[in-house]
Amino acid sequence: MRKMKHAPWVAGIAILLAAPLVVSAQQGEAHIGKYSGSVGPGRQLYYRYCWGCHGFRGDGNGENAPYLNILPRNFVAATFKCRSTPTGTLPTDQDLFNSLERGLVNSNMPSWIALTDQNRADLVAFIKTFSPRWKTEKAGDPIPVPPEPKLTLESIKHGQQLFQKLECWKCHGQEGRGDGPSASTLTDSNDQPIRPYNFAAGSRFKCGTTNNDIYKIFMSGVDGTPMPSFADVVKPDEAWDLVHYLRTLQVVHKSPELALWESTKEGADQVALSKVKGTPTGSGVNQ
Amino acid sequence: MQARVGYLVGIAALAACAVIVHAGPSGGTVSGKVTYEGTPAKMKPIDMSKEPSCAKQHATPVVTETVVTGPGNALDNVVVYVSAGAPDESAPSQAVKFEQKGCQYVPHLLAFQVNQPFEILNDDQTSHNIHPLPKVNREWNRSQPPGSAPISEKYDKPEFIPVKCNIHPWMHGSFAVLKNSHYAVTEGEGGFSLAGLPAGKYTITAWHESYGDQSQDVVISGSETKTVNFVFKAKPY
């Protein structure tokens, strides 16, 4: 009977103690899969591993920043390149976690795979404290990615038409080499010169490696760069056609799309033309 | 007797108030001209040969619009607005239009209020991407092929935002996102008029994308018109 008498008090105190955790769940926490990240450990990790580039205030003005070709991300502005959410919206915790795990290819942001998943979750929680936007806005609604349809030649050809119609070649070039008419004048949002992705070189993308990643890249846009979002103008089923065609532009990267494309005469001719002969600087020439 | 006079005076005072309240458009007006002194840099012709569908729309090449002048040393594309003294206003629901035409932005500077919708239209035969570069508002970047629907957007914080198209690097424009409805953008002879200002002390600011901003204070006591002129120093570059 004594236990029953105290039960309401215990319950009440438990609720009072839990309340701050509920209130701060919006900010100061990150949830990625089964991991919950929190700000305290994240702060320790940030000021050990990250602030040299990203800066004491998280604004991208770290000690190393003046020497970097692509400037470090400014977390205060909260404009992120690699998202699954529409252009202009905040990324999800998973997006930030993925960027930490993968790094950003062809930039100075390394892959932080050496840290544990829990470390990365904690870092995500801390990174979100730099911008006041996370207090007032929620992350964008992730762009729905329908399941990838079967790969067919029609899909690739339709993707080829889209590449022309959407004028991707203006920046990426007809062979996707990053040498389109507008390529040489491109600058990112920090006013630094930037080149479009060179499909023919076949490297991983800035924001991923899979077909799903390509889909998300052009549907969400790469914020902070000239690459816009095409979500307004490409329908989801058409988008997969474009993904399949883009894979055929990666002429040195083996893929089912490239193999299928090369089995046609048109495809084989185009791929043969695309494969680089010689070197861009002439340094490989035998006298 | 005195009470009766007092009574009549009271009624006369009330009548006078009524007259003042119902007199025409309420509040005063601040008007003036924006001019420059010195010699502005020559605007350069734009080479649109990389975009033939736009190049052929211009019989002679257009020039850059960083500094647009009018007769009598008028300075155009200056936003003149009330930066202090007036309360913030909720946005009108009427959208304003920003057009991409002949690979140029029309108007070069679009002024509107916080949370007011604006629509971006592509009247050209080529794709444009619309990429405003705010520092306070959210940055987004959207592709707009020819024939696509207008893009409707708004901003929730006041700011002057440069706008560019990455595909066509000569395209430059600005958005002026303002807190109240008392603003004007100069054109032609450089005149402006801000009407409907209740009595009070105001700071009027004039902003030009290249020549910076200037502010002047003005006091409105009734329905008078006060003249405020701005003179910007032209830069040789």
Q: Is residue A173 part of a domain?
A: yes
**pLDDT grade for A201, boundaries at 50, 70 and 90:** confident
> Residue A214 sits in a domain of what CATH number?
1.10.760
Q: A218 is in which domain, residue-wise?
A: 153-274
Q: B52 is in which domain, residue-wise?
A: 28-233
**pLDDT grade for A182, boundaries at 50, 70 and 90:** very high
Q: For an interface test with B, give the residue of A133, A163, A170 to mutate (most B CBs within 10 A).
A: A170
pLDDT given for residue B10 in this prediction: 54
In the DSSP assignment, the letter for residue B136 is: S
Q: How do residues A250-282 score in pLDDT, each as one tens digit?
A: 998 999 999 999 999 999 998 988 876 666 666
Bridge-based pairing of strands B172-178 and B159-164 is antiparallel
Q: Is residue A143 part of a domain?
A: no
Pair A114, A197 in one domain: no
Structural element, H or E, at residue A241: helix A236-249
Structural element, H or E, at residue A125: helix A117-127
Q: Is residue B193 part of a domain?
A: yes
Rg of the Cα atoms in chain B: 23
List CB contacts of A188: < 8 A, sequence separation 6 or more.
A70, A194, A224, A225, A226
Average pLDDT over residues A162-168: 96
Given an 8 Å threshold on Cβ–Cβ distance, is B141 in contact with A228?
A: yes
Amino acid at A23: V
Q: How do residues B10-29 score in pLDDT, each as one tens digit?
A: 555 554 444 444 444 579 99
pLDDT given for residue A7 in this prediction: 63
CA–CA distance, A251 with B85 (Å, rounded to integer): 63
pLDDT given for residue B6 in this prediction: 60
Rg of the Cα atoms in chain A: 23
Given an 8 Å threshold on Cβ–Cβ distance, is A221 in contact with B168?
A: no
Amino acid at B199: A
The domain total for chain B is 1
Bridge-based pairing of strands B104-106 and B96-101 is antiparallel
In the DSSP assignment, the letter for residue A149 is: P
Vertex B11: Cα angle to B7 and B13 (nearest 5): 115
**pLDDT grade for A24, boundaries at 50, 70 and 90:** very low
Return left, alpha or beta for A167; rule: phi > 0 is left, psi -120 to 50 is alpha, else beta.
Answer: left
Residue whose entry in the numeric block shows the structure tokens 């002390």? B201
What is the percent of chain B with per-residue pLDDT over 90, rounded to a whole number? 87
> Residue B178 sits in a domain of what CATH number?
2.60.40.420
Sign of the CA dihedral with A70 first, then A74, A75, and A77 last? negative
Question: CA of A71: how far to CAs of A74, A79, A104, A191, A285, in Å?
Answer: 9, 13, 12, 10, 34
Pair A130, A207 in one domain: no
Residue of chain A minimizing CA distance to B171: A185
Using DSSP's 3-state secondary structure scheme, residue A184 falls into: helix
Q: Is residue B189 part of a domain?
A: yes
For residue A133, which residues of chain B lie inside 8 Å, CB to CB?
A: 138
Q: For an interface test with B, give the residue of A75, A76, A79 to mutate (most B CBs within 10 A).
A: A79
Considering only CA atoms, which of B196, B173, B199, B211 is closest in space to residue B34? B211
Average pLDDT across chain A, whole number: 89
End position of a domain, from candidates A104, A136, A168: A136
- A270 in contact with B, Cβ within 8 Å: no
pLDDT given for residue A282 in this prediction: 60
Considering only CA atoms, which of A165, A186, A182, A227 is closest in space to residue B51? A182
Q: Which phi and psi (to 5°) does residue B151 adopt? A: -95, 125
- A85 in contact with B, Cβ within 8 Å: no
Considering only CA atoms, which of A189, A157, A215 is closest in space to residue B139? A189
List CB contacts of A258: < 8 A, sequence separation 6 or more.
A247, A248, A250, A251, A271
In the DSSP assignment, the letter for residue B89 is: -
Q: How do residues A89-126 score in pLDDT, each as one tens digit?
A: 999 999 999 999 999 998 999 999 999 999 999 999 99
**pLDDT grade for B84, boundaries at 50, 70 and 90:** very high
Average pLDDT over residues A168-181: 94
Q: Is residue B2 part of a domain?
A: no
Range in A6-15, A139-148, B28-37 the model is least confident about = A6-15
